[in-house]
Amino acid sequence: MKTNLHRKIIGFAVAGLMLLTLAACSGTADATMPSVVEAEPATEAAPATEAAVEESPALTAPAETSSSTETDAAPATAPSVSATGVLSEEEVAGLLYMREEEKLARDVYLTLYEQWNQPIFQNIASSEQRHMDMVLALLETYGLDDPAAGKGIGEFTDPNLQALYDQLVAQGRQSLADALKVGAAIEEIDILDLRERLAQTDKVDIQTVYQNLMSGSENHLRAFVSTLERQTGEVYEPQYLSPEDYEAILQAAPDHGGQGHGPGGGGGRGQGRGRAAGP
């Protein structure tokens, strides 16, 4: 009996210990659960971070737009025509054409100088180089490619100017009189083209350059006309300008001290010294 009683007591003790052990385990689990539950929100917070990353471009977009606007607006020196539409198509075409037309004048005069060794061709070729540089500065200001880049003497991007160059050089090689007439004809063409281009733009910088080029062409025309009459006795007849327009240019005083006429100024023909001054 005692043995059985001892066994029952021991059994109760073991059971009690097991209950205590289970209670302790349960308490430990309860104590650790909050940390598990609290850890879950930290895991769920990750999507919020991802959302912030996904939204970050929208937050930086205004900065990019602002930067782009500053880049477009900054250059009073080099705005992009294609991006901002600063120039019209006519203005762009005008600048590209005038760059090569001034090159045509320079190239013809250099070629005819080699043929006839007359200082007037060399002097006016130097003036035409300055004209080319003026137009090139505008191309760079407005971000336009230079059609004359990489082109040698007598080489042109515009096929019409290429054909005109070939024609004028062939004509100018025939005689000195023909060469001087070619020079005068080039200046007539230049004046008419510049007038047309001036009417197509309201940009002050472009207008200023075109006006300077036109003044130079008028000086050059007077120089070629007076040299032709002085050296050959021939009186030049305008080939492109109207007679009235031509006479008005001859009678005008040369700009910037141009030497198209004699000491008395005015339209005195045959008194020029064969040199071109001015722009």
Q: List Cα–Cα distances, 60 to 82, 92, 107, 208, in angstroms.
A: 26, 35, 53, 42
Task: Give me the DSSP letters along 217-255.
Answer: HHHHHHHHHHHHHHHH-PPP--SSS-HHHHHHHHHSPPG
Please state the length of the chain: 279
Backbone angles phi, psi at 147, to 5 degrees: -70, -15
Task: Work out the end-to-end distance of the chain between its first and last CA atoms, rounded to an integer number of angstroms.
Answer: 138
The residue type of 109 is Y
pLDDT (tens digit per residue) in 183-240: 999 999 999 999 999 999 999 999 999 999 999 999 999 999 999 999 999 999 999 9
Residue in this structure with the two tokens 């909050």, named with its chain if needed: 34
Residue 16 is encoded by which pair of tokens? 């009690």
Tell me if 112 sits within 8 A of 169, measured CB to CB. yes
Q: List Cα–Cα distances, 112 to 7, 35, 88, 118, 217, in angstroms.
A: 136, 97, 36, 8, 18
Domain boundaries, the chain: 1-74, 82-257
In words, the CATH class of domain 82-257 is mainly alpha
pLDDT tens for the chain, residues 1 to 279: 444 444 444 454 444 444 444 444 444 444 443 443 333 444 333 333 333 333 333 323 333 333 332 323 333 444 434 434 599 999 999 999 999 999 999 999 999 999 999 999 999 999 999 999 999 999 999 999 999 999 999 999 999 999 999 999 999 999 999 999 999 999 999 999 999 999 999 999 999 999 999 999 999 999 999 999 999 999 999 999 999 999 999 999 887 543 333 323 333 343 333 333 345
Q: Please, what's the b/e burial string for 152-167 (b: 16 or more CB within 10 A of its CB; e: otherwise)?
A: eeeebbbeebbebbee
